[in-house]
Structure 1
Amino acid sequence: MAAEPLSNGAAHQSVPGRYILPVHKRPSSSVKGKVAPPVLPIVDLGGDDDVRIAEEIFRAGREFGFFQVVNHGVPEEVMGAMMRAAEDFFGLPADEKMVYYSTDGKKLPRFHTSTRNGDGEEFLYWRDCLKIGCHPPEWPHKLGAALEPYTAAVTAVARRVLRLAAVGLGLEEEHFEGSLSGGGMMNVNHYPPCPDPSLTLGTGPHCDPGLVTVLMENVGGGLQMLLHGDGDAGGSGMWVDVEAAPGALVLNFGHQMEVISNGRLRSGEHRVVTGARAARTSLASFVWPELECAVATAQELVLAPGEVPLYRPYSYGEFLGVYVAEAGHRDAVMAHFKH
């Protein structure tokens, strides 16, 4: 289903039909009462007490799969320049942006309006997206000078978090290095104001396919995570807002972290709701394995009596094929890999 990107024209006065979701997929369909949003755990990466930081990352990953980091080392001017470059891209004249438009999911850089198939239904989410490669950085615009320093700084944050996550799991600090974290990409997402946020979503419910995602956004609000009860990993739950402190980066673990940790760390299921007033732009930097990389539960985590791997080994390329075929639906994806 090809569609004109939302950012190409004037503000919409109503939601076009192809963006209106089936009733059971609309934002209100999965709200089961009202609760106060939880405080997103804050992990201070400053200082050299790695044991303390590793414990905090482990607790946040076990409970939510989401946390925010402060004192992360990404300079404010680097973050600001990258966000301005992203906002400027979506503000370009349509003909300049459309040079990069493609429906080929393997093409990078790629500008598109998101589409998704689910349960035999085809519809569009309220989002424009620019996908760019990060190895090496690829930016399809003259403002690309902002990308390289931002990518380098955010990658350093992700790799430090992965080392600390390994420590928190009781693994060697280098466990996630090499081909397990050798791939990556960035989604530059743009969510224009929506005339009726009750009818659509910016992004549907999903877990990220990789190891860890680092997110920066220009305005708060929109991102929601699925909050589960104790012991409930993948069933019912409550959607709650992810609210981060100014200047913080939001991180979430993906499917590969849950598999490698044998379920000790949660892949954070999330979605994006739309807003009627302000446009929201976010940059999601993904760290994931190389396609040929063999992924398996860390053997050190299944040596105790009664411990068994929850998932079978696979290549990351196989996983991505399943992820795309199942449209990112968490339970359907993971069912292919459970023992």
Structure 2
Amino acid sequence: MELLLMSNWTDVQSTPETYVFPPDKRPGKLIFPDCKDIPTIDLEKSEGLERAEVIEKIMKASQEFGFFQVINHGVSQGLMEDTMSVFQEFFGMPAEYKASFYSSGTNQSCRIYSSTLNYHKEDFHYWRDNFTQSCHPLEDHVQSWPEKPTRYREVTSTYCVEVRKFLLRILDLICEGLGLKLGYFEDELTKIQLLSVNHHIPCPDPSLTLGMPEHCDPNLISMLHQCAVPGLQLFKDGQWLGVEPVPDAFIVIAGLQLKVISNDLFTSPIHRVVTHTKDKRTTIGTFLIPSGDFQIEPAMALVDTGNPPVYGAFTYKEFFSTFTGKDCDAQSALGCFKKQLE
């Protein structure tokens, strides 16, 4: 198990064959244009006279991109730096320690794996290690988290609480923008919170492989905390565009459930990660996920005779099973729940 983790590898001189993607799937070129139009939201302004303007920007970004960056979000720079440092330390821990968290299943509250959970069934592997932990409510999960580095539980606990508050603030602003009752997205729609960290070691030839596949997020809403090393890409208008890290910013991504609840008003973006030749890259993702048995459908306040529901009702468990059964293809999965409009 230890050998599967890329963070244990040293002095990699060439890309192993099982990480080389077919020509139609690999990035190919190494230089991509940056997306210059991704909106940046100053969340601090939402507490004052510019609240309506901030909401309008979030709504527009959610419709056009499904994607925006947030500054002045309320999570301190010190906590962001400490959390990133803790995870970088964790991936640098001895191989046998990390191996104790290795799992190819989804039942563990805390698990590390390489590429994807289906590593042994894959034809091609993604250039990453992933560490995922459940983190809400904290008291149900924290005892399963790593005890090393020594600051791990203390720092990560604080971070998980603060980023949850941040995402709920964003969802409240979306409620206002959509005309939904405040708190619409709380409780069952955000019951599960996962923290997922991707770690990419330098790759000898980034043109041949990928750090993460192209995908849409199946959950409600996601947040990415990037390091300074670029790699995230957004697919828009028929091309891949780089997302340059903004210092101390969080990236917010609308998941497929938000697309459904908004009755297709919002988009959920296709994105992926490419690798880097010289630098390690660590990113921290937080995902708010509905409870499995909760019924999801377009919000009734957004549906009328002139704007009928695009989707029928389903549970998140049903959707996720369909999503994975369709090889995580968002359009195919959503198509299974679309209504036949008369």
TM-score when normalising by structure 2: 0.90
Residue 242 of structure 1 is matched in structure 2 by 243
Aligned residues: 327
Alignment CA distance shift 1:308-1:116 (3 Å): farther
Look up the match of 1:7. Answer: 7
Say whether 1:334 aligns with 2:334: yes
2: CA distance between counterparts of 1:165 and 1:307? 19
User: How do 1:92-111 residues align onto structure 2 when only pairs under 5 Å count?
Assistant: 92-111=93-112
Counterpart-to-counterpart distance in 2, 1:105 and 1:36: 35
Instruction: Report the equivalent of 1:274.
Output: 275
In structure 2, the residue matched to 1:231 is: none
Runs of 4+ in 1 over 6 A off after TM superposition: none
Task: Kindly report the root-mean-square deviation, in angstroms, between the aligned alpha carbons of the 2 structures.
Answer: 2.2
Q: Which residue of 2 aligns with 1:233?
A: none
Unmatched segments (≥5 aa) in structure 1: 229-236
How far does residue 226 in structure 1 lie from its aligned partner after superposition? 1.2
Letter in 2 for 1:64: F
Question: Are 1:168 and 2:177 an aligned pair?
Answer: yes
AA aligned opposite 1:259: V
CA distance in structure 2 between the aligned counterparts of 1:225 and 1:57, rounded to whole angstroms: 18
Corresponding letter in the other structure for 1:300: A
What residue number does 1:177 align with?
186
- 1:275, CA displacement in angstroms? 0.7
- Alpha-carbon shift at residue 81 of structure 1 (Å): 1.0
Contact 1:215 1:249 in 2 (8 A): yes
C-alpha distance in 2 between matches for 1:58 and 1:244: 22
- Do the aligned partners of 1:116 and 1:124 also contact (CA within 8 Å) in 2? no
Aligned to 1:20: 20
After superposition, the Cα gap between the structure-2 partners of 1:34 and 1:286, relative to the gap in structure 1 and judged at 3 Å, is: closer
What SS does the corresponding residue of 1:40 show, helix, strand or coil?
coil
The answer to whether the Cα contact below 8 Å between 1:20 and 1:123 also exists between their aligned partners in 2 is: yes
Code of the residue aligned with 2:41 in structure 1: it is V
Seen in structure 2, the aligned counterparts of structure 1 residues 257 and 122 have a Cα distance that, compared at 3 Å, is same
Q: 1:205 offset after TM fit, Å?
A: 0.6
Whether 2:46 is the aligned partner of 1:37: answer no
CA distance in 1 between partners of 2:213 and 2:61 (Å): 23
Structure 2 counterpart of 1:338, one-letter code = K
Aligned to 2:57: 56
- 3-state SS, counterpart of residue 130 of structure 1: strand
The one-letter code sitting in structure 1 at the alignment partner of 2:321 is G
Q: Per-residue deviation at 1:124?
A: 0.8
Structure 1 residues 164-211: Cα deviation after superposition (integer angstroms, max 9, x where no partner): 011111222222122111112011110110001011100001111111
**3-state SS of 1:197 partner:** coil
Offset, 1:147: 0.7
**Unaligned stretches of 5+ residues in structure 2:** none
Residues 1:192 and 1:114: Cα distance change in structure 2 (over 3 Å): same
- String of CA shifts for 1:61-90, please: whole Å, max 9, x gaps: 111011011110001111111111100010
Of residues 221, 226, 235 in structure 2, which corresponds to 1:217? 226
Asked if the contact 2:206/2:277 (under 8 Å) is kept, the reply is yes
Q: CA deviation at 1:116?
A: 7.2
Is 1:141 matched up with 2:147?
A: yes
Alignment partner, residue 324 of structure 1: 324
CA contact (8 A) 1:116 1:327 kept: no
Pair 1:2–1:301, CA change in 2 (3 A): farther
What is the Cα deviation at residue 328 of structure 1? 1.6
